[in-house]
Chains A and B, each alone.
Chain A
Amino acid sequence: MKHFDIANAPHLPIRPTVSRVMLWVLIALLSGIAVQTWLFGIGVLLQILIALLFALGIEAVFLRLLQRPLRPALLDGSAAVTAVLFALCLPPLAPWWISALGLLIGIGLGKQLYGGLGYNLFNPAMVAYAAMLISFPAHFGHWPAPLLDDPLSSTDVLRAIFIDPQSALPWDTLAQATPLDQSRQARLQNLTLGEWQSRAIWSAAQPKAWQMLALAWAFGGLLLLWRRVAAWQVPLGVLAGVLLTATPLWLSAQDQAWSPLTHLGFGGLMLAAFFIATDPVSGCVTAKGRWLFGLGVGALTILIRQFGSYPDGIAFAVLLMNAAAPWIDLHTRPRYYGEPT
């Protein structure tokens, strides 16, 4: 009589792992990272590096404090994805402590205290970003103008990030408000977009740069959809939500609202549509729910952009829909096989 190991069915080798999913997200982000670095300088990469260090460090500290095993959580890649997404939302010259504080809130409070990956109700990157945006709005208003003729040297950038962002650099010539910030100011001053665009402060290079970046995100996003890492319903839902909300606003007041297509090119919308709203943990899990989640993110983003007091609303839109996701899931469960009517 020969003896054997026993185990529960199924008895096939496991195929996918969480870290592989996360790795694909990071790979898909590369095209956008490259374009963003090209447009806004080496600061983009430095922010990513800083955020990665803080994210892994904070995750490790919290895991130790909460007495959870370190290795699986650190190696699953989720903290790295959070860090990169958060860093990509930051202005390239933002001070280092924004990363530290933001990730402490995003990963520490937003993720580990909720129970770790899988139990977090909100997207950690967006928790971090929203907390920082609300607390330190001044640091988020200034992006360097894209494609500077005379790009900042690495030492300048490092000095700006680590020592003193305000005085070290000639901000007056360097910084520009983003298109969304400008349209908000136009609205606050009761000017039409046309009037605003005729002013000297408006730069036509800005929208072009942001649109190029949006295309790069979309390209990476398509890779995610092709690899089936992200659910396709979500980005399509976001885009549909944007179009459905922005179109009537634009038609009713063409000189005060961006056209729907212009909206798509601005701010973090494409990045969010493909990489942030598609976070499975904090999103919806049913097919119908994913559509609703995406539509909600898209619509809320436009409404906040148009009527809110922040230039871009994507982070708030995602967080609001995160809060609604469990409820949406509960009410959109598909009918199972043979379910009695």
Chain B
Amino acid sequence: MAAYGFHGGLQLDKHTRDVIARPIQDAAPSAVLALSLQQHRDLRLHACVHIGDSVHAGQVVARPDLDIGDNRQGAWLHAPCDGEIIGIESRPLIQQPKRSGPHLLLRVRESAPVAKRQLDALSTAELLPAMLAQAGLSGLGGANFPSADKLIHRVDTLILNGAECEPWIACDEGLLIESAALVLEGAQVLARSCAAQRIELALESHMTRAIDAVQAVLRERIADDAVPVRLHCLPSRYPQGSARQLIEALTGRQVPLGQHSAAVGVVVHNVGTAHAAALASRGQALTHRIVTVSGPGVHAPGNYRVALGSSVADLVASAGGYTEQARRLLIGGPLMGVALPHDDFALQKGSNCVLVLDEVRTPQGEVTQACIRCGDCAEVCPARLSPQLLWQSAQAQRAERARADGVMACIECGLCDLVCPSQIDLTRQFRDLKHALWQSDQKQQQALAARQRFEQRNLRLHREAEALETKRANAGKEALSASVVAAAIAKAKARRAGTRRDDGGESAS
């Protein structure tokens, strides 16, 4: 398969050399782990342990509701270490620092070594999506989307995403250098669970050591029944690792707006997720992940294996602590990362990078100029949008016009901001537009539902009224017939009596 490439994008300085120069190190878990029950966007887990319970490493502590709907499985949550549940507390979410959600607090038992407990149900190589959900698998590339829910659709191609395109982040590269065999084993598990016919492993050409490691594995082990794997070394270009862009780069196909990648026969999984799938097939739940800690703001940049729920502060301490220059703390890379107001946040499954930057991008009193319509933003936009037109719509508060021009296809990669000579915060405005549109959709759906409810109520009332009417009519008929009878009897009586004037029949009607 020839690489097709994707539209736009930009080659950026990588800054990953320091990180991959050292092997992955184990970071000590925090004394108290905070495990978020709010996972991917609308996926809320409910705890299945009680305060005061003693738990062991790998034990399920929270599960999705049974009826999350649409065939979805979600991803379960496990205790990373032995310890005791000491509480449940609302805390800001690391993926959305302005929102809060419940976190389970687990005090780690210090004496216990970090054991690798077997999961009960998982021992075979043939894993069903449900089993992956029970092992807690979700997208480790950053999105934290439950992996099992991606595997419901039958596809022909599994794209294994190792195209770690955002500067500074190197957790996938580090993982591949050290555990390429496990990653490829996990890829087989994932491919079989969605019946994929082939696996396309995408790496970027700057990841030379990871490429060597993968090639070494691919050379030696070829099982007969294995799904064939092809390695693609793509030219390094941000945002290649964005699922939709990677699909376009490898297949030349575009996923229609609002649809799942299965619409073009593809599912994309991160290499870290594949690694977790391999561990799951050996009975190990997803309780730890590799996090890149880097930037000029930390003393010892590197990849660290850390227990989920550990705090950012403790992880940075493991990486030698902050330097003098530390000014901005990011979860994720410099282009799409979320800035945290402080370091008391708990790392979750999607947290791939802790980046501490020195330079603050926006100088004091910066004046944004008007758009000069140079079109540089459209040139780099991987979604082929025309940000300059969208910006006009944003200025004019015409959200529906922006929708027609495709703002919902914006992946918020941040490149338009980066190249804009007028320094307009385009990405922020598009994010706001998308949010406004999403809310109006939501409202519209609610209104639609309300209208349907109202119409149904009217229909019901109408039906009830009709039923009552017929009932009444029937009753009336009966009453009528009864009164006619009565009248006749009365008449007869009267006739028989022959003395009185008869008016009983009239009043009965």
B411 to chain A, nearest CB (A): 9
What A residues does B384 contact at CB under 8 A? Answer: 334-337
A21 to B419, CA, bound (A): 12
The secondary structure that dominates the B interface is loop
A2 to B328, CA, bound (A): 10
Per-residue B-contact encoding for A311-323, CB less than 8 Å = 1, 0 else: 0000000000000
Q: Is the CB of A2 within 8 A of B343?
A: yes
B293 to chain A, nearest CB (A): 14
Per-residue B-contact encoding for A2-18, CB less than 8 Å = 1, 0 else: 11111111111111111
Q: Is the CB of B339 within 8 A of A10?
A: no
Partner of A336, one of B336, B362, B405: B405
With A1-B342, A118-B372, A334-B386 in contact, is A11–B328 under 8 Å at CB?
yes
B316 to chain A, nearest CB (A): 8
Task: Select from chain B the residue with minimum beta-carbon distance to A2.
Answer: B343
A290 to B373, CA, bound (A): 12
A69 to B367, CA, bound (A): 10
* Interface-facing stretch out of B27-35, B69-77, B139-147, B420-428: B420-428
A13 to B13, CA, bound (A): 12
With A15-B418, A118-B422 in contact, is A7–B339 under 8 Å at CB?
yes
Q: Is the CB of A11 within 8 A of B385?
A: no
- In this assembly, does A170 line the interface, its C-beta being within 8 Å of a C-beta of chain B? no
* Most chain A beta-carbon contacts within 10 A, residue among B313, B343, B344, B372: B372
A280 to B379, CA, bound (A): 14
What A residues does B258 contact at CB under 8 A? Answer: 338
With A4-B329, A10-B335, A13-B361 in contact, is A18–B256 under 8 Å at CB?
no
- In this assembly, does A115 line the interface, its C-beta being within 8 Å of a C-beta of chain B? yes
A281 to B373, CA, bound (A): 5
**Which residues of B150-182 have CB atoms within 8 Å of chain A's CB atoms?**
167
Partner of A285, one of B322, B389, B428: B389
Q: Is the CB of A4 within 8 A of B373?
A: no
- In this assembly, does A333 line the interface, its C-beta being within 8 Å of a C-beta of chain B? yes
A3 to chain B, nearest CB (A): 5
What A residues does B357 contact at CB under 8 A? Answer: 11
What B residues does A180 contact at CB under 8 A? Answer: none
With A10-B334, A336-B406 in contact, is A286–B386 under 8 Å at CB?
yes
**Which residues of A277-332 have CB atoms within 8 Å of chain B's CB atoms?**
280-281, 283, 285-287, 290, 329
Q: Is the CB of A337 within 8 A of B383?
A: yes
A2 to B317, CA, bound (A): 12
A2 to B420, CA, bound (A): 32
Q: Is the CB of B328 within 8 A of A7?
A: yes
Q: Is the CB of A16 within 8 A of B427?
A: no
Q: Is the CB of B375 within 8 A of A8?
A: no
What B residues does A15 contact at CB under 8 A? Answer: 418-419
Q: Is the CB of A9 within 8 A of B335?
A: yes
Partner of A117, one of B367, B372, B375, B428: B372
A14 to B383, CA, bound (A): 21
Q: Is the CB of B423 within 8 A of A14?
A: yes
Q: Is the CB of A336 within 8 A of B376?
A: no
**Which residues of B384-428 have CB atoms within 8 Å of chain A's CB atoms?**
384-386, 388-389, 405-406, 409, 412, 414-415, 417-423, 425, 427-428
- In this assembly, does A20 line the interface, its C-beta being within 8 Å of a C-beta of chain B? yes
With A286-B378, A337-B7 in contact, is A8–B367 under 8 Å at CB?
no
* Most chain A beta-carbon contacts within 10 A, residue among B255, B334, B361, B409: B361
Q: Is the CB of B342 within 8 A of A338?
A: no
Task: Select from chain B the residue with minimum beta-carbon distance to A282.
Answer: B373
What B residues does A329 contact at CB under 8 A? Answer: 389
Per-residue A-contact encoding for B339-359, CB less than 8 Å = 1, 0 else: 111111000000000000101
* Most chain B beta-carbon contacts within 10 A, residue among A4, A6, A283: A4
With A72-B367, A334-B384 in contact, is A4–B7 under 8 Å at CB?
no
Partner of A337, one of B254, B360, B423: B254
What B residues does A116 contact at CB under 8 A? Answer: 370
Per-residue A-contact encoding for B175-218, CB less than 8 Å = 1, 0 else: 00000000000000000000000000000000000000000000
Q: Is the CB of B419 within 8 A of A3?
A: no
B353 to chain A, nearest CB (A): 12
Q: Is the CB of B427 within 8 A of A11?
A: no
Task: Select from chain B the residue with minimum beta-carbon distance to A21.
Answer: B421
Partner of B417, one of A5, A10, A281, A336: A10
| Size category of the binding interface on chain B | 35 or more
* Most chain A beta-carbon contacts within 10 A, residue among B167, B378, B409, B422: B422
With A10-B335, A72-B367, A285-B386 in contact, is A338–B409 under 8 Å at CB?
yes
A116 to B371, CA, bound (A): 11
Partner of B406, one of A2, A16, A339: A339
With A3-B341, A336-B405 in contact, is A9–B427 under 8 Å at CB?
yes
B258 to chain A, nearest CB (A): 8
Partner of A11, one of B257, B339, B369: B339
Q: Is the CB of A2 within 8 A of B386?
A: no
**Which residues of A256-289 have CB atoms within 8 Å of chain B's CB atoms?**
280-281, 283, 285-287
- In this assembly, does A171 line the interface, its C-beta being within 8 Å of a C-beta of chain B? no
What B residues does A3 contact at CB under 8 A? Answer: 341-342
- In this assembly, does B327 line the interface, its C-beta being within 8 Å of a C-beta of chain A? yes
B431 to chain A, nearest CB (A): 8
A2 to B371, CA, bound (A): 37
Task: Select from chain B the residue with minimum beta-carbon distance to A73.
Answer: B369
A285 to B377, CA, bound (A): 10
A17 to B359, CA, bound (A): 18
What A residues does B341 contact at CB under 8 A? Answer: 3-4, 6
Using CB atoms and an 8 Å cutoff, list the residues of chain B in contact with chain A.
7, 12, 97, 167, 244, 248, 254-259, 313, 322, 326-330, 334-344, 357, 359-362, 367, 369-376, 378, 382-386, 388-389, 405-406, 409, 412, 414-415, 417-423, 425, 427-428, 431
Ranked nearest first, the 10 interchain pairs of A and B with the lowest CB-CB distance are A118-B370, A10-B414, A336-B406, A338-B257, A6-B339, A10-B335, A16-B421, A337-B383, A4-B329, A8-B428
Extra contacts, 4 of them, besides A4-B339, A11-B361, A337-B384 (Cβ < 8 A), are A9-B337, A14-B361, A117-B372, A281-B372
- 21 example contacts (A-B, Cβ-Cβ < 8 A) are as follows A1-B313, A4-B339, A6-B328, A7-B328, A9-B338, A10-B414, A10-B415, A11-B337, A11-B339, A12-B12, A12-B335, A12-B418, A14-B418, A14-B420, A115-B370, A118-B373, A283-B373, A333-B386, A336-B385, A336-B406, A338-B256
